[in-house]
Amino acid sequence: MRAFFSIASLLIVLGVILVAVKHQLRASQAYLPSHEAPVGAASEPFGGASQPSVAQFQRELDRTLKEGAAARAAATEAAEASR
């Protein structure tokens, strides 16, 4: 009898969890954006200015990495010279 109640209570808990998960999934599907562009929307994001900004970001990243590598090399040389 005890095993029956244990299994029954486990099934009830699993059922409650299942209902909560289904409710949450239905709620999140209501907020998914559609894949259709609204009427009058620009064909390019940000008015087509995304490509130059990506290239600019890449140049800044490369410059920063080179500066960081130079600083690390200088620090390593200074540490070796002080030994």
5-50 residue pLDDT tens: 999 999 999 999 999 999 988 877 766 666 665 555 555 555 555 5
Answer with the residue of higher pLDDT: 67 or 83: 67
Region of residue 39 (phi > 0: left; psi between -120 and 50: alpha; otherwise: beta): beta
DSSP state of 37: P
The letter for the amino acid at 81 is A
pLDDT of res. 33: 63
Compute the average pLDDT of residues 58-64.
91
Confidence band of 63 (pLDDT split at 50, 70, 90): very high
CA distances from 70 to 63, 67, 75 (A): 11, 5, 9
